[in-house]
Amino acid sequence: MTSGPSERGEDVGQQLPLMVTAPPGPKSREVAERIAQVECPAFEARRESRAVASGHEQGAIVYARGRGSNVTDVDGNRYVDLTAGFGALAFGYNDVDLSAAVFAQSHKLSMALGDVYAADCKALLLEALAALYPESGARVLLGTSGADAVTAALKTAVLATGKAGVVAFNGSYHGLSHGPLAACGLSRKFRDPFIGQLNQYVKFIDYPGGELTPSIEALRAALGAGDVGAVLIEPMLGRGGCAALAPGFWAAAREACDEVGALLIADEVWTGMARSGWMLMSASMGATPDIVCLGKALGGGWPISATVGRKEVMEAWAKHGGSAIHTSTHAGHPSGVAAALEVIRKLSQQDWPALNRQLGERWMGVLRREVADDVLDIVGSGLMVGVRLKGGSTEALRVSRKLLHDGYIVLTGGVAGDVLTFTPAFNIAEPLLESAARALGRIVRNHAAPRGISGP
């Protein structure tokens, strides 16, 4: 690793936690309360129900500033962020190169005219993204969120195949705007309230994490009627708990899609751009998807996403009467484009996919040493690591809360909400990961009586 926790005291953003008050401190409570008074009440309601279910307070801390892998709350507590902003902060908070690139771009041109008149920097980004795709001639559609990228992929599938059907997977997550929501297999709770507004032609099958033969048979059965235009799949579950795809499934899925003329769409919003240990995890699995969705790490913390597709498939967009039937005000926004270009430049300076793979393996080794006997599973690839706890979601909430008190920010995930998910910045100092593993070890060995709730 390039740097360790600072011994000289300078703030390089790789420091161990420093807690000055129990979180949430008084200032966090005050600001969080003001937010709760005016924000959509769903977020506060979730905190309350989690507190009741787990028996542990879930009050929010409020961030004041960040640097590298450290974030400091308004009370002055310094944390190590092991989520990296839902996986978006590839190079941590306020990376100087990224900030400088966005600053320079915003001084030069703060806004272009989307699909009508582009910013000059957009050409470079489209070329760089098309070059990521394993075959030549790929075409790219830019968006601002991961859900945008998935939406564009699903629309592409309808245009290219004429079929509205989608095969999606239990346990998967693709964002919550209407298109991706219809394919959200993580929990029915997301879909049910809006079911009347969603694509009715989505078939769910189990995420192929176990035996290959039944998984591929289930896919073939779902494709059997010939009405499916898209098979939408994460190469490794993200929110679903960092579970891997059964070896061989990807290539078999490619074959099954080709037989019925369905597109294979890889949702790499989380796995892509080196996080999983591969620039494109799908490309490492022995078959090329028709479309790849990118987001999160692509912008390094700025909102930008991309749908990158095979030439023949993306050409379907040109056959629609000359109108741009898919665009938005901020798609290809110059600041996001500048950030993505800088992320791609930084990723090209070292072999970050390999570095992430190696660091992830070393860290999973440390986790196994510290906690293996006290947890159900340690899974993942690269810097997407899941630790499945004994004691279900109750225990996951307890442990994540205790980690927060020790100064480590983590998320819970998994279909049953029983997984701690770790997606740190690529340049996190290794001693921070090691000390987090030790903190986790201390906490899981000190079990609370599980009260057995389920659901994320």
Ligand X SMILES: Cc1ncc(COP(=O)(O)O)c(C=O)c1O
Q: Which of 56, 78, 139, 174 binds ligand X (CB under 6 A)?
A: 174
Give yes or no for residue 141 binding ligand X (CB under 6 A).
no
- Indicate the residue among 59 and 85 with the shorter CB distance to ligand X: 85
Give yes or no for residue 331 binding ligand X (CB under 6 A).
no
Backbone angles phi, psi at 262, to 5 degrees: -100, 150
Angle, helices 249-260/212-223, rounded to nearest 10 degrees: 20
Of the candidate spans 9-17, 233-241, 360-368, 442-450, the one that interacts with ligand X by CB under 6 A turns out to be 233-241
Q: Give exposure, 394-431, as e/b (b: 16+ Cβ within 10 Å).
A: bbbbbbbbbbbebbbbbbbbbbbbbbbbbbbbbbbbbe
Distance CA 257, CA 167 (A): 10
Residues 73-132 that bind ligand X (CB under 6 A): 86
Site string for ligand X, 282-301 (x = CB under 6 A): -------------x------
Q: Which of 169, 270, 317, 426 binds ligand X (CB under 6 A)?
A: 270
- Indicate the residue among 145 and 381 with the shorter CB distance to ligand X: 145
Give yes or no for residue 145 binding ligand X (CB under 6 A).
yes
- Other C-beta atoms closer than 10 Å to the C-beta of 207 total 25
- Indicate the residue among 150 and 246 with the shorter CB distance to ligand X: 150
- Other C-beta atoms closer than 10 Å to the C-beta of 76 total 13
Q: Which of 17, 66, 171, 175 binds ligand X (CB under 6 A)?
A: 175
Q: Which structure tokens are listed for 355?
A: 């570095």
Cα 110 to Cα 145, 300, 334, 336: the distances in Å are 19, 18, 6, 10
Site string for ligand X, 240-269 (x = CB under 6 A): ---------------------------x-x
Give yes or no for residue 238 binding ligand X (CB under 6 A).
yes
Angle (CA) 339-342-348 rounded to 5° is 145
- Indicate the residue among 173 and 363 with the shorter CB distance to ligand X: 173
Distance CA 79, CA 330 (A): 33
Give yes or no for residue 275 binding ligand X (CB under 6 A).
no
Query: Which stretches of the chain bind ligand X, using CB under 6 A?
Result: 86, 145-147, 150, 173-175, 234, 238-239, 267, 269-270, 295
